[in-house]
Structure 1
Amino acid sequence: MRQGAMKPYYLFSPWTRIFHWVMVICVFILFLTGLYIGNPFFLGTQGMEPTFAVNNVLSMETIRYIHFIAGYVLVISFIPRIYGFIINPGDRLLPKPWSKLYWTGMIDTQMHYMLLRGKHRPYLRNSLARSGYLAVYLMFFIEAVTGFAMYYMIEPNRFLAKIFGPFNNWLINEYMVHMIHHFVAWFIILFVIVHVYMAIRADLTEKGGEISAMFSGVKYMEEEPDDLGDITDTKKTQAK
């Protein structure tokens, strides 16, 4: 960390940080259990599923139960995320495509990542990152809708079945819903890989605390961020 000129900015509330780490755990569980549910033999050859299912510890029923619980936890975890969005300006850094700063920031950041510029302008959250986070939230929404649509097919009389069940017809049929659910899951994992790489890269090159910010809520910058105006309460934002 380059001390001296580096200024701290309080960005993420505890609510968003809690959401982030719950999301990390849930996505990891959902992806692995989802692979198993889609193909119990993806770990090896035919006949492995009964081998793993010792005393039903890793039976299909148990894996499905874990998958559903993780799905419910992920959906519920959006409650603190929304609360953080309401109370803390730093949690509201969503893309603003109607603004000039969004498009100039997008070009500036992409030029840097393509190694055509040595560095980009200082941003608390650059336009590319903002767009990526919004995209992953939309993918979570698609996964929740398609997941619940398939789940509630087996209990059509329940209240939530009346909400999500029709999606199996609106999206052609249950098989198409399953395929959408499957491919969007892979897009989420692709996002995770890119996100982890970019966070580590930013920490190593910019020394701004990109990773530690998800523990402390604070980022560090040498120059005043171009998007500081997006956080209205600047006195609260600049950490003591």
Structure 2
Amino acid sequence: MYVYKTLSAGGRFCHWLIAGCMVILFCTGLYIGNPAFIGTQGTEPTMAVANLFSMETIRYIHFAAAFVFCGALLFRLFLVFSYPGDRLFPNFRSTGYWQGLVEVMAYYAFLRRHHKTYIRNPLAATAYLGIYFLMFVEAVTGLAMYAMIKPNSWLAGLFGPVNNWLGNEYMTHIVHHVIAWVFFLFLLGHVYMVFYNDIVERSGELSSIVSGRKNFSEQPADAKPGLRVEAKSG
């Protein structure tokens, strides 16, 4: 059996921190787009609930989670350069990548019974790279809208021009909103694939995000120096 490291402790921490922030941001973002409690009249219990779920409170939670998200994203970028297991991204210049991508896609389309063993298969690696790019765009568009609140701040000088590049603040909002729904759909597919790989392929995908290791019966095609922990027989 071959045991390989996947994500570092920092990478696993960032995974859960980013995932938690995305859930909070998505829920609060839906509320901000369509608030349920914005009235100023009603009974005392009703007003207590209204104050608890006021736009001000929800916006504060959204902004706080957004800055934590940005910090975690920057730390995750740092880890890409510091640990090989945190940079299992696709190599577009490799013929093996394209062959593996077609093979894995055919497997998940039930056109093949097997595919090569990977620490992170080409389809997953490509999806993660795309998601990280969208996270960057989401952060930039979010900061561009936040900068409009404080037009004289350094954030406005740095991210304010994004609104002009996209046409206006409304278009920035639309891009931000659409990407949020892409994240929601990705999350559904991601959870399904994690359980599928853990149950059907028995790759330890679910436990690896906690332990940082995966067990394989054969050498992975994308094995890299420094990731292998040990080799056991049986």
The within-5 A match list for 1:107-126 is 107-126=102-121
Which residue does 2:21 correspond to in 1?
26
Does structure 2 retain, via aligned residues, the 8 Å contact 1:149–1:168? Answer: yes
Q: How many residues align?
A: 225
Does structure 2 retain, via aligned residues, the 8 Å contact 1:122–1:225? Answer: yes
Which residue does 1:141 correspond to in 2?
136
- The answer to whether residue 217 in structure 2 is matched with residue 217 in structure 1 is no
> 1:55 offset after TM fit, Å?
6.4
Which of 135, 151, 156 is matched with 1:156 structurally?
151
Distance 1:53 1:139 in 2: 37
Does structure 2 retain, via aligned residues, the 8 Å contact 1:53–1:59? Answer: no
How high is the sequence identity, in percent, across the aligned residues?
47
Which residue does 2:43 correspond to in 1?
none
Does structure 1 retain, via aligned residues, the 8 Å contact 2:107–2:115? Answer: yes
Which residue does 2:42 correspond to in 1?
none
Which residue does 2:98 correspond to in 1?
103
> 1:12 offset after TM fit, Å?
1.0
The within-5 A match list for 1:142-221 is 142-221=137-216
- The answer to whether residue 5 in structure 2 is matched with residue 14 in structure 1 is no
Distance 1:19 1:137 in 2: 12
Which residue does 1:44 correspond to in 2?
none
Distance 1:129 1:13 in 2: 18
Distance 1:68 1:165 in 2: 17
Distance 2:230 2:196 in 1: 24
Distance 1:218 1:83 in 2: 21
Q: Which runs of 5+ in 1 are unaligned?
A: 1-5, 42-47
Do the aligned partners of residues 194 and 52 (structure 1) sit closer, same or farther apart at CA in structure 2, a change above 3 Å counting? Answer: farther
Distance 1:10 1:92 in 2: 12
TM-score in terms of structure 2 length: 0.91
Which of 222, 225, 228 is matched with 1:232 structurally?
225
Q: How well do the aligned residues superpose, as a CA RMSD in angstroms?
A: 1.5
Q: Which runs of 5+ in 2 are unaligned?
A: 40-45
Q: What do residues 149-195 of structure 1 show as CA deviations (whole Å, max 9, x unaligned)?
A: 11111211111110110111111111111111101100111111111
Does structure 2 retain, via aligned residues, the 8 Å contact 1:10–1:238? Answer: yes
> What SS does the aligned partner of 2:148 have?
coil
> 1:88 offset after TM fit, Å?
1.6
> 1:98 offset after TM fit, Å?
0.8
> 1:115 offset after TM fit, Å?
0.6
Does structure 2 retain, via aligned residues, the 8 Å contact 1:122–1:224? Answer: yes
> What SS does the aligned partner of 1:124 have?
coil
